[in-house]
């Protein structure tokens, strides 16, 4: 049991995002920004983590549940009903910490680039220096938007001034408040009681505790980040995109070092949740999202869009969209294929240009090479589907199933009016409209017989 608990602030609306989604749920490479912060905080091994929620609190809790076993991680929710500022948010946890004598790590929920290393460095410094409060500072080339840390005489005088309350001189200071603090618990709540909303925003600023504690004669010190990009707070979408770019680049670097070739990182997007095997090559313009897992030796792109898929080794995907599908070894998809959820593309299968496959199973070695729609279908092994084949699955009410047995040859431009079943080794004549089951090994031709007629001689019409 450590002598540390954490408070993470995630109650704000995020007005500057101009969104119906609470700010902390905006995604960065496939995960809500709050999750990144939580992971960094959890690394500190707190005995409890209090997450302060307010604006759309229920949806914040629900979203996190999809990513983390909350109870197991010691995460507890505390409600802030009125959003009266960061100091007021921390105050909501006071009742939970009654009688607690340890330390409190406070972190804002909109700092997705914060690392575990920095959190731990701050906590260690706090213990080692036996501080009442340790704050995280960073030096930024452009400090605009952040609270500035004003420090003189190695902590003799220290306070934070918000940009909108700062004098022009204070605004020139480029040491900023990151939004990460470690407090001695009893000092924290004594100081919070003294915060007054006497600022431009009329809010209870947590940052005021710095001066309050210093004035009480307490020891307040600052730790600075090694990499200032870590403290980038996300308040608007411009910052969201900038942070996402950074996280994406980190994801790509991790993959490059793990043996994946990414031909053009600047045009490649990979979510933090994606796994990719060695010797896979990703060509420019590709996007790989969600819980996708990709095997070794694949060739993806140019322009592959893959979301929530399982792709086995040696698969090729060119200029195609694939969602929620499983693609087995050495299958080739594209260019210009659209593979929709619930599809299984078997080993060595080829799904070629301008084909759409929905909720279907395609057996080993089958070819769907050109211009086809395969929906709610089971295709066996070694089937050849001719160009322009359509499974007519929808009768206006229900989706119906087409079954095509192993080694069937389907001529071009066939239509299967589902439900329909084609036996193994059957041959379907080109241009057929198949409305009834075809027994194994038989030839079915279902099209109007061609007629040849004599042409009448045309008389010239005189005008
Ligand atoms: C805050 C700091 C600023 C610092 C910056 C770092 C204050 C007063 N200012 O400014 O010094 O440089 O972060 O990014 O703290 N929140 C609540 N309840 C509230 C208000 C806020 O939970 O009533 C949460 C928000 O959800 C957010 C965090 O507190 O996660 C910070 O709030 P935000 O409005 O983003 O503060 P900044 O203006 O960025
Ligand atoms: Ca912020």
pLDDT tens digit sequence for 13-50 = 999 999 999 999 999 999 999 999 999 999 999 999 99
Q: Which two tokens stand for residue 70?
A: 């909350």
**pLDDT computed for residue 458 by the predictor:** 76
**pLDDT computed for residue 390 by the predictor:** 98
CA distances from 396 to 246, 251, 392, 414, 432 (A): 48, 45, 11, 20, 22
pLDDT in tens, 134-177: 999 999 999 999 999 999 887 789 999 999 999 999 999 999 99
pLDDT in tens, 439-460: 999 999 999 999 999 998 777 7
**pLDDT computed for residue 154 by the predictor:** 76
The ligand 1 atom at the shortest distance from the C-alpha of residue 206 is: 15
Ligand 1 within 6 A of CB of 109: yes
- Superfamily name and number for 4-231: Spore Coat Polysaccharide Biosynthesis Protein SpsA; Chain A (3.90.550.10)
Mean pLDDT lowest among 101-105, 151-155, 217-221, 338-342: 151-155
Among the listed residues 26, 55, 338, 370, the single catalytic one is: 370
Ligand 1 within 6 A of CB of 140: no
Mean pLDDT (the chain, rounded): 96
Q: How confident is the model at residue 238 (pLDDT cuts 50, 70, 90)?
A: very high
The ligand 1 atom at the shortest distance from the C-alpha of residue 88 is: 23
Mean pLDDT on 384-403: 97
Mean pLDDT on 347-354: 98
pLDDT in tens, 256-314: 999 999 999 999 999 999 999 999 999 999 999 999 999 999 999 999 999 999 999 99
**pLDDT computed for residue 368 by the predictor:** 98
**pLDDT computed for residue 462 by the predictor:** 75
List the residue whose alpha carbon is closest to atom 13 of ligand 1: 179
Mean pLDDT on 385-400: 97
Ligand 1 within 6 A of CB of 223: no
Is 179 in contact with 152 (CB distance < 8 Å)?
A: no
The number of the ligand nearest the C-alpha atom of 108 reads 1
DSSP annotation string for 186-244:
HHHHHHHHT----STT----TTHHHHHHHHTT--EEEEE-SSGGGG----SHHHHHHHH
Ligand 1 within 6 A of CB of 11: yes
Residue 2 has pLDDT above 90, yes or no: no
List the residue whose alpha carbon is closest to atom 11 of ligand 1: 147
The Å distance, Cα 170 to ligand 2 centre, comes to: 19
Is 417 in contact with 401 (CB distance < 8 Å)?
A: no
DSSP annotation string for 90-109:
HHTTGGGGTT--SEEEEEET
pTM of the predicted structure, to 2 decimals: 0.93
Respond yes or no: is residue 88 known to be catalytic.
Answer: no
Domains of the chain, residue spans: 4-231, 249-444
The Å distance, Cα 145 to ligand 2 centre, comes to: 9
DSSP annotation string for 406-458:
TT-EE-TT-EEESSEEE-TT-EE-TT-EE-S-B-TT-EE--SPPP---PPPPP
Q: What is the CATH number of domain 249-444?
A: 2.160.10.10
Mean pLDDT on 171-196: 97
Kindly state the percentage of the chain with pLDDT values over 90.
96
Secondary structure of residue 57 in the 3-state scheme? helix
**pLDDT computed for residue 459 by the predictor:** 77
The Å distance, Cα 25 to ligand 1 centre, comes to: 15
**pLDDT computed for residue 315 by the predictor:** 99
The Å distance, Cα 210 to ligand 1 centre, comes to: 15
281 phi and psi, to 5 degrees?
Answer: -115, 130
340 phi and psi, to 5 degrees?
Answer: -105, 170
The Å distance, Cα 451 to ligand 2 centre, comes to: 77
Ligand 1 within 6 A of CB of 113: no
- The pick from 107, 108, 197 for probing ligand 1's pocket by mutation, whose C-beta has the most ligand atoms within 8 angstroms, reads 108
List the residue whose alpha carbon is closest to atom 1 of ligand 1: 179
230 phi and psi, to 5 degrees?
Answer: -60, -25
List the residue whose alpha carbon is closest to atom 8 of ligand 1: 205
Ligand 1 within 6 A of CB of 60: no
């Amino acid at each position: 049991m450590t002598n540390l608990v954490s408070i993470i602030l995630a109650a704000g609306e995020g007005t500057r995002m101009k969104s119906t989604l609470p700010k902390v749920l905006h995604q960065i490479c496939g995960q809500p920004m709050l999750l990144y912060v939580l992971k960094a905080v959890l690394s500190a091994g707190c005995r409890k983590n209090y997450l302060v929620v307010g604006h759309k609190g229920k949806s914040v809790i629900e979203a996190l549940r999809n990513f983390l076993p909350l109870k197991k991680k010691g995460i507890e929710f505390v409600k802030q009903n009125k959003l009266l500022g960061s100091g007021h948010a921390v105050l909501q946890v006071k009742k939970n910490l009654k009688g607690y004598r340890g330390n409190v790590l406070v972190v804002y929920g909109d700092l997705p680039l914060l690392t575990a290393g920095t959190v731990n460095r701050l906590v260690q410094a706090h213990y080692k220096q036996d501080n009442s409060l340790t704050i995280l500072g960073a030096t930024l080339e452009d400090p605009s938007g952040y609270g500035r840390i004003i420090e003189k005489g190695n902590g003799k005088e220290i306070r934070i001034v918000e940009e909108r309350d700062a004098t022009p001189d204070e605004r020139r200071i480029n040491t900023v408040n990151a939004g990460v603090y470690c407090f001695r618990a009893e000092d924290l709540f004594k100081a919070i009681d003294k915060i007054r909303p006497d600022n431009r925003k009329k809010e209870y600023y947590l940052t005021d505790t710095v001066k309050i504690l210093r004035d009480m004669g307490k020891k307040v010190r600052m730790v600075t980040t090694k990499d200032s990009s870590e403290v980038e707070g996300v308040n608007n979408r411009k910052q969201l995109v900038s942070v996402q770019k950074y996280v994406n680049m980190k994801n790509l670097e991790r993959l490059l070092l793990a043996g994946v070739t990414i031909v053009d990182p600047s045009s490649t997007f990979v979510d933090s949740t994606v796994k990719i095997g060695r010797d896979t090559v990703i060509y420019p313009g590709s996007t790989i999202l969600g819980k996708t897992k990709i095997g070794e030796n694949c060739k993806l792109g140019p322009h592959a869009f893959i979301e929530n898929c399982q792709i086995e080794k040696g698969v090729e995907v060119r200029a195609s969209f694939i969602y929620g599908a499983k693609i087995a070894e050495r299958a080739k998809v594209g260019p210009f294929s659209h593979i929709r959820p619930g599809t299984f593309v078997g080993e060595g299968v080829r799904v070629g240009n301008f084909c759409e496959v929905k909720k279907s199973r395609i057996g080993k070695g089958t070819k769907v090479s050109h211009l086809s729609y395969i929906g709610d279908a089971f295709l066996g092994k070694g089937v050849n589907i001719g160009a322009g084949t359509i499974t007519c699955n929808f009768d206006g009410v229900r989706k119906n199933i087409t079954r095509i047995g192993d080694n069937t040859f389907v001529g071009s431009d066939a239509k299967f009016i589902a439900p329909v079943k084609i036996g193994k080794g059957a041959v379907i004549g080109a241009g057929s409209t198949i409305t009834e089951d075809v027994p194994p090994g038989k030839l079915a031709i279902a099209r109007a017989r061609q007629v040849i007629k004599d042409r009448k001689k045309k008389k010239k019409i005189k005008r």
